[in-house]
Every structure is written in structure tokens, then in C-alpha cells.
Amino acid sequence: MSVGFDRTAVLDRIPGWAGQPRTEQPLSGGITNRNYRVQRGTETFVVRIPAPAGGLLGIDRQIEYQASQLAAACGVGPEVIAFLEPEAILVTRFIPGEPVSDAAVHLPQTLQRVAASLQRIHHAGVVPAVFSSFRVVEAYAVTARSRGVPLPPAHERALAIAVAIEQALPLPAPRLCHNDLLNANFIDDGTLIRIVDWEYAAMGDPAFDLGNFSVNHSLAEEEQAFLLEAYAGKASAASVAQLALMAIMSDFREAMWGVVQQGISDLDFDFAAYAARHFERLLGRAADPRFRQWLRQAGP
């Protein structure tokens, strides 16, 4: 299953699985973790083997487990079957359904359903961890330097932008947030848009989830407004500005994630180019003539 793991021994530790016939096959899509689809009789599960360097990316597997349970309880995440320690192997029930394509994300009915799922998540409960994109980029900078990775020239400009954004935004009421809303993490089960992969989940600002989703899917301005209306009943000037600013912070977080990965990952992936793309996009958005207006309108 993974280097350092005895596949049979690991799966036998899942309650009720010892000695039972099953089949496993790897699932594609993850950059860092290893995911497997396991068939046991008529039931199907997903077994997640975590990346060993997750802690350097700010991932707390206990928090992920708790967030996954809350997400399952509110009907958005998959049912949690087991959490094996000390390896932090997470076992969930497989969600039958269809992937949400890049094209489908832009449909009004999809945006409506994504907003409904985010509403459920943002009221699902509490975990003992906080996510702040402003603190994350600072922590990633420290980790990168400690690993001998030089910060790119764009970092200094991005940091000044982040300071201005943090000063402009109101202090949020913390809610459970996913913080990594890629359409690869969405499954349409025919009724709900289900969301998987809760490793970056924590209590945070719902505006980050909205901005993160928006920028990850290149939503047009009218689509952003529709999303906000579906989520909150209206697209106020403040909520539009907060989404725009958090979209910038989402790119800053992604850029710094790519910087850190250059010092901790042995995968054949161009993390430097990944970081550069996100730095370029965030600087481009911050150069928008409306940036100063967003800063003024974002406050209470």
C-alpha cells in the first residue's frame, strides 16, 4: 500500500476487517497523500495514507479526523469508519456519485448547491484549531527558510498586500471551514454536493472558503455575486470585497505552499512553477484598480 506499511496488517486493524476478503486499488488525484479504494463485500471504502511531511504544511491529523466527523454528521462529508493511530490512517465510506467538472462548477444550479453545502459546513460545529491565511503564509515562510528554500522576490510584495488586507477585513466569527475547495474534492451524489479531503479544515473565516472556491474555479464576477446571493441571500458591497480580498489570500497561501514543498517533497512535480503561477495571479489581482476600493468596503 505504501512504503513502510504492511498492507494486510494495516487493513486488519480496522474494526471488523481482520481476516476478511477485500480488494484494493489506488485512487488518483492526490499530490501528497496516498488514497485507496477498498472493496469489502458489497461495501466500498476509501483508505487514506497521509504524507509524512504533513505537519510541515500545517496539517494536524487529529483535527482532520474531528473535522471529517463533523462534515459527515452534517451530511456533506463521507461517513468516517476508522482512524488508525499512530499512523493517522483515515478510513471513510466511499461516496457514489459523479465528479464535478470544471464546466459544471460554473452552472447556476451547481453554485447554488455548493453554497448550500458550505452553509452546512460553516454551521457544523467546532474543532480545537484555527486557520488564518495570514498566519499560514508566515509559518510557511519560516518553514521554507529552515529548509534552505529562498523566498522568491514576489514574496515581499505579496506580504505587503497581505498586511493591507488583514487590516481592512473585519474580525470574523470563526466557523468550521474546509480551506481547500478544489473541484477534485467535490462529488455530486445526485442530491448534495459532497466534499472530501478535510486535512486543512479548522475554525476560520467563511469568506476565505468563498474566496478560495471562487479563485480556484476562476468564477466570473457575476458568478461570484450569484454564489454570495445563494450563500447569504445577497451580494453586499462588503461581501463582494471580502471575497475578492480572500481570493488574493488564497493565492498567497497556494504560492507559499508551493515554496515549502520545494524543500520537503520528493515528488516529481514542479512546485516552483506552481508557486510562481499563484504569485503572478495574486499580484495581478492586487493590481486591479478596484483593490483600494475593496479594502475600504470590506470592513463593517
C-alpha 245/C-alpha 134 separation (Å) is: 12
For residue range 61-116, what is the model confidence (pLDDT) as tens digits? 999 999 999 999 999 999 999 999 888 899 999 999 999 999 999 999 999 999 99
SS3 state of residue 31: coil
For residue range 3-44, what is the model confidence (pLDDT) as tens digits? 456 767 888 888 889 888 899 888 876 666 788 999 998 999
Please tell me the predicted confidence (pLDDT) of residue 1. 39
Please tell me the predicted confidence (pLDDT) of residue 54. 65
Dmax (CA) of the chain: 64
pLDDT, mean over the chain:
93
| Percentage of the residues of the chain whose pLDDT score is greater than 70 | 95
| Interior/surface letters 34-72, b for 16+ CB within 10 angstroms, e for the rest | bbbebebeeeebbbbbbbebbebbbbbbebbbbbbbbbb
> Rounded to two decimals, what is the model's pTM?
0.93
C-alpha 13/C-alpha 43 separation (Å) is: 17
For residue range 235-287, what is the model confidence (pLDDT) as tens digits? 999 999 999 999 999 999 999 999 999 998 888 889 999 999 999 999 999 99
Please tell me the predicted confidence (pLDDT) of residue 31. 62
Please tell me the predicted confidence (pLDDT) of residue 29. 62
Pairing of β 175-177 and β 23-27: unpaired
Please tell me the predicted confidence (pLDDT) of residue 4. 54
Please tell me the predicted confidence (pLDDT) of residue 259. 97
Please tell me the predicted confidence (pLDDT) of residue 5. 60
Please tell me the predicted confidence (pLDDT) of residue 213. 98
Residue 257 and residue 57 in contact, taking contact as beta carbons nearer than 8 Å: yes
C-alpha distances in Å from residue 138, one per residue of 11, 99, 151, 159, 264: 38, 34, 11, 9, 17
Closest CA to 297 of 105, 169, 164: 169
C-alpha 47/C-alpha 26 separation (Å) is: 9
Residue 149 and residue 263 in contact, taking contact as beta carbons nearer than 8 Å: yes
Residue 279 and residue 152 in contact, taking contact as beta carbons nearer than 8 Å: yes
**Over the Cα atoms of the chain, what is R_g?**
19
For residue range 100-157, what is the model confidence (pLDDT) as tens digits? 999 999 999 999 999 999 999 999 999 999 999 999 999 999 999 999 999 999 999 9
Please tell me the predicted confidence (pLDDT) of residue 28. 73
Please tell me the predicted confidence (pLDDT) of residue 20. 86
Please tell me the predicted confidence (pLDDT) of residue 294. 98
Least confident range from 51-65, 167-181, 241-255: namely 51-65
What residue type is 126 in one-letter code?
A: V
Residue 188's contacts (CB-CB under 8 Å, 6 or more residues apart) are 97, 98, 99, 100, 104, 113, 194
Please tell me the predicted confidence (pLDDT) of residue 50. 84
| Percentage of the residues of the chain whose pLDDT score is greater than 90 | 79
C-alpha 296/C-alpha 300 separation (Å) is: 10
